[in-house]
Amino acid sequence: MACLPVPYPDELLYSVIARYGVHSGITSPKQLLDDVFQNRKIIASVAFQGHLSQISIHYQGNADLTPCKLLQAHTLFPLYSSFVHPDITEHAKHELLSDCRHSAEVQLGKAASKVKSPYYLRYCPLCVGAQVKQYGEAFWARRWQLPGLSVCAEHGMYLIGSPVLISEVHRHQFIALSPHVLLHSSPRLTTKKVAMLAAYAQQLLNLPEQRIHSLQWSCFYYQLAKQLGFVRRKRVEHNLIANLVLGYWGAHTLASFSLSISKVDENNWLRCLFRKHRKSFSYLQHLIVWQACYEQQLDLAEILFEVSQLPQSHYDDVPAHIEPVIVDQVRRTEWQHVVAKFGVKGARNQGFAGLYIWLYRHDKQWLMQFNQDSVRPSIVKINKVDWPCRDKKYVKQLISLINEVETQLDSDRHTVTWLVTHASIPLSQIKHLEKLPLCKLFFEKYCESIEEYQCRRIALACIDSLKKYEQLKAWRIERIAGLSKERTRPIVSQLLGYAVKYEAS
């Protein structure tokens, strides 16, 4: 069992495992995975290191290092848990705690967020000096890797990007914060507001998890707009909110967070935040709005607790009220004209959304009936392509290609994509194979299965060995062919056995 070092305060699990490799003198990434996880296929994740139950085994008897506490204190999970639907949060949490593959970056919204994660691991040189002085070594801190924020909350300095790339290139490698990854760069001081924002983000990392439904967030933001005086007859004045946020932060600062606000765009992120929540928003979007509204009086723990106690709709405390039917012939006639000109959807997009809303509230039955009767018939799609002619042309190109490469044993696997690409056929045509019967027949005959491709690689490896007068050994042939016992299909293993046996005899 690996003797993992005890995590330092605010240290990433990624850093803990990397430090263990340095302490143990392990230079091979695969050996490090074997020691810690007993599994060579684990991916090193900076934000959400999974297989926490496996990691916590190395801390048996330490009640402060259970899987749940490791997740809360040494990953970026707390940045997302309170802002995502509770069911999604629980599912992602279960995957991270258990010994299985996880998709937390996708489930929690990190992968598709407007707020982009850093491409390189970052550090604060002042913090590194303090770490070395206090602990005798440096480590990767959580607060340095916050998506969208490149500021140290402790010193108010801009972080420095290290050469350690967070990507799929070395996805099984844990790289420690050592002197050779530190760059000689002078830290720059940030503004007071951005430093305060980074401090709030660090505070959010250390708060307990709250189960908050998206409808509760809708209720909170409606009440917030009401408290600010930005609600008029139950309608949120989005332009006033935009003026407040832009006036506090400035367009340049918001652009640096990749969170620009365009008043012209009806669906900008700030408007969506104050509407009914149909999707989750990042921690940074929430903090930017809260700081602009509360400034130094912002109490994150109190806000999260209050939101968790709200009803799941801000209409729960509003008595049901049915608008009386009002027949306004002028508005009916106007709607009929614009629908005749633009269609129902086009009329709403051409500046008549207010007219539609008025009719929907006061004359809904007539509006729905008229819109249903005004649906434009779908246009019959005319086939403008001569598919038989195109089919013959493409299959001739494919036949010419297969005649050229049929004897080339060192070519890549002959898949549909490979054949189409090398035959100079647009890849988009693969979607229309039902209209290209000759091409479809060609692919069924000449596309290689995985077994056929592996057999070809084995044959090529045998030929290379015989040319070099080397004895045919199974391990040597597999290595030349780039195969392994785990990936080699049974029929290919059988062929390899025949080849080695034949040569030996």
The tens digit of pLDDT for each residue in 63-77 reads 788 989 999 999 999
* 484 vs 332: CA distance, rounded Å: 73
Query: Model pTM?
Result: 0.63
Contact between residue 392 and residue 438 where contact means Cβ atoms under 8 Å apart: yes
CB neighbours of residue 352 within 10 Å: 18
Contact between residue 147 and residue 282 where contact means Cβ atoms under 8 Å apart: yes
Four-point Cα dihedral 294, 298, 300, 305, nearest 10: -70
Angle between helices 13-24 and 67-74 (to 10 degrees): 100
Collect the ranges in the chain with pLDDT lower than 50.
Answer: 314-321, 504-505
- Which contacts (CB < 8 Å, 24+ apart) does range 463-468 have? 463/409, 466/503
Q: What is the pLDDT of residue 262?
A: 86
Q: What is the pLDDT of residue 502?
A: 58
Cα–Cα nearest to 181, from 4, 9, 15: 15
**Residue 102 CB partners (closer than 8 Å, separation 6+):** 48, 50, 92, 95, 96
Q: What is the pLDDT of residue 205?
A: 92
Contact between residue 284 and residue 115 where contact means Cβ atoms under 8 Å apart: yes
- Residue 284: in which H helix or E strand, if any? helix 283-294
Q: What is the pLDDT of residue 321?
A: 43
Angle between helices 192-205 and 300-308 (to 10 degrees): 50
CB neighbours of residue 123 within 10 Å: 25
* 75 vs 47: CA distance, rounded Å: 6
Rg (CA), the chain: 31
Contact between residue 197 and residue 288 where contact means Cβ atoms under 8 Å apart: yes
